[in-house]
Amino acid sequence: MKRSFLILLCCCAVACSKKLEVDTPDFNVSLDPARLVADTFTYRLGDTTRFKFNGTVGNITFYSGEPGKRYDGRSAAYKLGHITLSFSSKAQYGSQTNTLQVLATNKLAGLDSAAVVNAAWTDISNRGTLATGSTEVPFGTADLTDLLANENDSLFIAFKYSGVTGSTQRTWTITQFAVNNVLPEKTVSLSSFSTDVAYWTRYGNVWNPASGRWTASATDLKITGGDAAAATNTSWVVTKPLYAGRVPGDVSTGIKSINEPDKAEYAYAYPAAGVYKATFVAFNHTLDEERRIIREFIIKVIP
């Protein structure tokens, strides 16, 4: 009995230590040969590109070759292009002037009032146009690249409001805020209202009533000025740190998972004229191993 138990333990140890192996994918892709000129398949804008599949594989992903969807760009990296800021503004009520400043810095010692006020801010208000009345005015696209040391640097944008007691203070609304890293091959969004509504930090010397400070939503920033009797108000709102050169890896589209049956084809319509490298990655995997093959095609889309 004792000997049988030892044999069972040994067999279990061997089985449990065995590596889970996986087969190399059996997968091929083809396109209409009538479309082939040299090494390029040519389509007109509006055509549907039909990739025909053959073989058996667990998983398939597709990189169309469009900006943000390139196999060669799948790894995250740091690359500094042109860092741009754009937004629109309007100023309602009252007639006080110079009540809004747009500021930027790449160094902020901390997220507290002293650190914000004492930071080495650059006034970038004159790099665009601020509203002077209730009509919404685009600021334009301001290039802030000169404020950064390199692709690993960070950036903070602040809106500083100043209202003075004695006359009606202005109400400012900021919309369509966007900070981008514009690269030759794609544009990387660094900040927008819809993605960063929870990350704006507010500072000010008037907290009662709450309208004496900036409020952030998914569509705008707003600060409501007081009447002539309201106290003098200086209020800041600051972005999260924007890592200017951080470029996320390009993404693929899942075509098939291991739980789905084999597919005969994949149809895709390119939205714009251009030359694209379409890439299919087919792979089988276990917890221990993965094997993959790659099929690539040059697609030219003409108007």
Q: Is residue 131 a contact partner of residue 140, using CB atoms and an 8 Å limit?
A: no
Measured CA to CA, the distance from residue 42 to residue 57 in angstroms comes to 28
Phi/psi region, residue 146 (left: phi>0; alpha: psi -120 to 50; beta: rest), is: alpha
Q: Residue 12: its pLDDT value, please?
A: 45
| Alpha carbon distance 61, 253 (integer Å) | 5
Lowest-pLDDT choice from 88-92, 99-103, 170-174, 212-216: 212-216
Confidence tier at 19 by pLDDT (50, 70, 90): low
Kindly tell me the burial class for residue 164, based on how many C-beta atoms sit within 10 Å of its own C-beta (0-12, 13-18, 19 or more): middle
pLDDT at 246: 95
Nearest alpha carbon to residue 196 among 173, 213, 214, 221: 221
CA distances from 204 to 19, 180, 300 (A): 61, 28, 55
Question: What does the pLDDT read at residue 3?
Answer: 47
The Cα–Cα gap between 144 and 149 comes to: 11
Q: Dump pLDDT digits (tens) for 47-95.
A: 999 999 999 999 999 999 998 899 999 998 999 999 999 999 999 999 9
| DSSP-H helix ranges across 71-126 | 113-118
Q: Is 106's pLDDT higher than 50?
A: yes
pTM as predicted? 0.76
Predicted pLDDT of residue 1: 45
d(Cα 282, Cα 296) in Å, to the nearest integer?
11
Please, which pLDDT band fits residue 207 given cuts at 50, 70 and 90? low
Distance CA 117, CA 136 (A): 28
In the predicted structure, residue 11 carries a pLDDT above the cut 80: no
Question: How high is the pLDDT of residue 5?
Answer: 43
Residue 20 has pLDDT above 80, yes or no: no
Calculate the average pLDDT of the chain.
91
Which CATH architecture best describes the domain 22-75+250-302?
A: Sandwich (2.60)
pLDDT tens per residue across span 61-72: 999 999 889 999
**pLDDT at residue number 205:** 74
pLDDT in tens, 139-195: 999 999 999 999 999 999 999 999 999 999 999 999 999 999 999 988 999 999 999
Q: Mapping DSSP to helix (H, G, I), strand (E, B) and coil, where does residue 277 land? A: strand
Q: Domain locations in the chain?
A: 22-75+250-302, 78-247
Residue appearing with tokens 């140890």: 13
Better pLDDT: 289 or 218: 218
